[in-house]
């Protein structure tokens, strides 16, 4: 079960009041959605998006169990299309919008889509399985320079050149299909000391591929742009990011938007106690901005 991160801080900053409406762009297991839903009772509504059809399916079941289906509307949609999703549901006014980026523990542990280097799974990595681009396609058909750029730009992998070279050599022998093949390639392409660190040597490679497969950078930019247009005056946008690329995009986005004032000068990070309880929280950063 996915454990939501920074929930208390999200509530503190978004400050949901009875009968206000919110959009949760990344419903996942619903941890944040349900916490906000409680605060905006009895009439406040939530539009909850998730690009992963399986996530939306179990989220919808949970809605029924909690008898929230009249106040929370679930949509299997990319948050890049937040404006279209809001228009379709005639969802206005909007007091606040939340993005909890990246992937959930459920996706990591049980979708069998190759998100994790810890399990032998097909190299898929799509949030949305209708998306034509898979990790397998990117690995087998991108040029060496594209692979190298992807590793460097999306995860600052210091051995991007060596790993890209090793991918190209390896795929000349055999088609790459499984997570273990990619792990082996990374292990062969990187020095021993790199493999002895706390962090698994394939962490950055898997992260970069996932970002590329799902076009995450563009989605975040488009989603944020849509959110700024949708949220009401004095409304807030909260974003939880999990790596420096995401955090930079969010920080720059609000810095360059004169209609928004950041409420968090420095990003909010989880307490030690939260990190101890939920290791996924260790890299989380929350930024919130208010519309003037």
Ligand X SMILES: C[S@@+](CC[C@H](N)C(=O)[O-])C[C@H]1O[C@@H](n2cnc3c(N)ncnc32)[C@H](O)[C@@H]1O
Q: Which is nearer to ligand X, 52 or 148 (CB)?
A: 52
Bind-site residues for S-adenosyl-L-methionine: 30-32, 50, 79, 100, 107
Residues 123-162 as x/- pattern, contact with ligand X by CB under 6 A = ----x-----------------------------------
Instruction: Give the Cβ contact number of residue 131 at 10 Å.
Output: 15
Please name every residue paired with 98 in a beta bridge, in sequence order, or none if there are none.
24, 238
Determine which residue in the list 155, 219, 228, 241 makes contact with ligand X, applying CB under 6 A.
Answer: 219
**Stretch of residues binding ligand X (CB under 6 A), selected from 45-53, 138-146, 166-174, 245-253:** 45-53
If one asks whether residue 246 binds ligand X (CB under 6 A), the answer comes out as no
Q: Which is nearer to ligand X, 96 or 102 (CB)?
A: 102
Cis peptide leading into residue 42 (ω within 30°): yes
Determine which residue in the list 23, 40, 48, 49 makes contact with ligand X, applying CB under 6 A.
Answer: 49
If one asks whether residue 32 binds ligand X (CB under 6 A), the answer comes out as yes
If one asks whether residue 74 binds ligand X (CB under 6 A), the answer comes out as no
Please name every residue paired with 47 in a beta bridge, in sequence order, or none if there are none.
23, 73
Q: Which is nearer to ligand X, 113 or 176 (CB)?
A: 113
Determine which residue in the list 16, 28, 96, 226 makes contact with ligand X, applying CB under 6 A.
Answer: 28
Residues 6+ apart with CB under 8 A from 217: 154, 211, 245, 249
Contact 260, 289 (CB under 8 A): yes
Q: Which is nearer to ligand X, 46 or 55 (CB)?
A: 55
If one asks whether residue 103 binds ligand X (CB under 6 A), the answer comes out as yes
Determine which residue in the list 13, 22, 51, 73 makes contact with ligand X, applying CB under 6 A.
Answer: 51
Least distance (Å) between residue 269 CB and ligand X: 16
In this chain, which residue has its C-beta nearest to ligand X? 28
If one asks whether residue 79 binds ligand X (CB under 6 A), the answer comes out as yes
Q: How far apart are CA 32 and CA 16, in angstroms?
A: 12
Residues 6+ apart with CB under 8 A from 184: none
Least distance (Å) between residue 33 CB and ligand X: 7
Q: How far apart are CA 111 and CA 54, in angstroms?
A: 8
Q: Which is nearer to ligand X, 111 or 189 (CB)?
A: 111
**Stretch of residues binding ligand X (CB under 6 A), selected from 78-86, 110-118, 143-151, 161-169:** 78-86
Positions touching ligand X (CB under 6 A) are: 2, 4, 25-26, 28-32, 49-52, 55, 78-80, 100, 102-104, 127, 219
């Amino acid at each position: 079960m996915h454990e939501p991160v920074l929930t208390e801080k999200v509530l503190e900053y978004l400050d949901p009041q009875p009968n206000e409406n919110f959009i949760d762009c990344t419903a996942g297991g619903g941890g944040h959605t349900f916490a906000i839903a409680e605060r905006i009772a009895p009439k406040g509504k939530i539009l909850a998006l998730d690009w992963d059809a399986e996530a939306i399916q179990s989220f919808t079941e949970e809605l029924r169990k909690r008898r929230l289906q009249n106040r929370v509307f679930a949509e299997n949609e990319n948050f890049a299309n937040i404006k279209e999703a809001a228009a379709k549901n005639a969802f206005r006014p909007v007091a606040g919008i939340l993005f909890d980026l990246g992937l959930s523990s459920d996706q990591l542990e049980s979708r069998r889509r190759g998100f994790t280097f810890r399990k032998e799974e097909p190299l898929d990595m799509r949030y949305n399985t209708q998306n034509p681009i898979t990790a397998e396609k990117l690995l087998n058909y991108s040029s060496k320079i594209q692979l190298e750029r992807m590793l460097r730009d999306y995860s600052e992998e210091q051995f991007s050149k060596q790993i890209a070279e090793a991918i190209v050599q390896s795929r000349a022998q055999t088609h790459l299909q499984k997570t273990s093949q990619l792990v082996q390639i990374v292990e062969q392409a990187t020095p021993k000391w790199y493999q002895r660190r706390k962090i698994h040597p394939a962490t950055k490679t898997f992260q970069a591929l996932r970002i590329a497969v799902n076009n995450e950078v563009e989605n975040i930019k488009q989603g944020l742009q849509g959110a700024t247009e949708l949220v009401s005056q004095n409304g807030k946008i909260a974003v939880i990011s999990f790596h420096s690329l995401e955090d930079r995009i969010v920080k720059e986005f609000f810095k360059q938007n004169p209609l928004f004032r950041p409420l968090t000068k420095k990003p909010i990070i989880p307490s030690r106690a939260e990190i101890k309880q939920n290791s996924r929280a260790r890299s989380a950063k929350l930024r919130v901005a208010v519309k003037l």
